[in-house]
Amino acid sequence: SQTIHQWPATLVQPVGSPLSLECTVEGTSNPNLYWYRQAAGRGLQLLFYSVGIGQISSEVPQNLSASRPQDRQFILSSKKLLLSDSGFYLCAGDRMASGANVLTFGAGSRLTVL
Amino acid sequence: GDSVTQMEGPVTLSEEAFLTINCTYTATGYPSLFWYVQYPGEGLQLLLKATKADDKGSNKGFEATYRKETTSFHLEKGSVQVSDSAVYFCALSATGGSYIPTFGRGTSLIVHP
């Protein structure tokens, strides 16, 4: 089975400070990996996805970036946080299960920008 | 493009009531359909899935049937519990073209004792 680890679980950062959220995957090799953001009371917004090492696709323009330095590591970064970056960030990996592409999510990282 | 539409929430029920959360989709081809659940403060987890027309997915007393003729995948449970309070997301994953899952906006369920 696949397990997604995310950290930190919670962080409070001032506007203009940098950000680094990390995600690692256990149990599968070469998964597609995803970063989602969930604003309070809202649905999921896909930010980035990756099909392999060094391959990143961005879904929305923003001051965030992502990197995949290793097969099972996916990092979300920012050089200067904005107030609007506050939210709940979720990393996910996919796997095939009974003919369906199923996502496994991490526990999330809650970011508050002050 | 592909899309998923869920009923607006929150849905508020008393314990042991019957639950239906509506979900309809648009997609080319024959997508797989999913329900994910998100408990407060946690990530999403797969609740159930169906991969072809007329398939019924089921788990923890929840059921959903893949209806191709109505492009629907409604979630049902006969008797909800307080512990079912969560946000429920309907999603699809296309079998051709983009593999990236498409999610609905989520429906919050609140169950009172």
Q: What is the pLDDT of residues B5-44, one digit of tens each?
A: 998 889 999 999 999 999 999 998 889 999 999 999 899 9
Question: Order of strands across the sheet with B62-65?
Answer: B19-21, B75-77, B62-65, B56-59
- Say whether A105 and B101 touch across the interface (CB within 8 A): no
- Say whether B105 and A42 touch across the interface (CB within 8 A): yes
Euclidean distance between CA atoms B20 and B52, whole angstroms: 21
Whole-Å CA distances, A20 to A15, A53, A63: 14, 18, 13
B97 strand-pairing partners: none
Q: Residue B28: is it exposed, middle or buried by C-beta count within 10 angstroms (0-12/13-18/19+)?
A: exposed
Euclidean distance between CA atoms B65 and B53, whole angstroms: 8
B91's CB contacts (< 8 A; 6+ apart) are A103, B4, B33, B34, B35, B36, B101, B102, B103, B104
User: How would residue A103 be classed by pLDDT, with cut points 50, 70 and 90?
Assistant: very high
pLDDT of residue A62: 80
Euclidean distance between CA atoms B75 and B47, whole angstroms: 10
Euclidean distance between CA atoms A34 and A78, whole angstroms: 16
Closest-CA distance, A8 to chain B, in angstroms, reads 13
Cβ atoms of B14 and B101 closer than 8 Å: no
Beta strand spans in A14-108 (E): 19-26, 33-38, 44-52, 55-58, 64-70, 73-78, 87-97, 100-105
Q: What is the pLDDT of residues A2-47, one digit of tens each?
A: 999 999 999 999 999 999 999 999 998 889 999 999 987 778 999 9
Q: What is the pLDDT of residues B38-51, one digit of tens each?
A: 999 899 999 999 99
Euclidean distance between CA atoms A110 and B41, whole angstroms: 9
Residues of A in contact with B91 (CB under 8 A): 103
pLDDT of residue A34: 96
Q: What is the pLDDT of residues A57-68, one digit of tens each?
A: 998 868 999 999
Euclidean distance between CA atoms B51 and B111, whole angstroms: 30
Euclidean distance between CA atoms A86 and A41, whole angstroms: 13
pLDDT of residue B78: 97
B residues 6-65 near A, CB within 8 Å? 32, 34, 36, 41-46, 49, 51
Q: What is the pLDDT of residues B70-104, one digit of tens each?
A: 999 999 999 999 999 999 999 999 866 567 899 99
Please state the rounded mean pLDDT for residues B58-76: 97
B7: tokens are 């009923």
Q: How far is CA B67 from the centre of its chain?
A: 13
Euclidean distance between CA atoms B89 and B72, whole angstroms: 14
Q: What is the pLDDT of residues A67-99, one digit of tens each?
A: 999 999 999 999 999 999 999 999 999 988 888
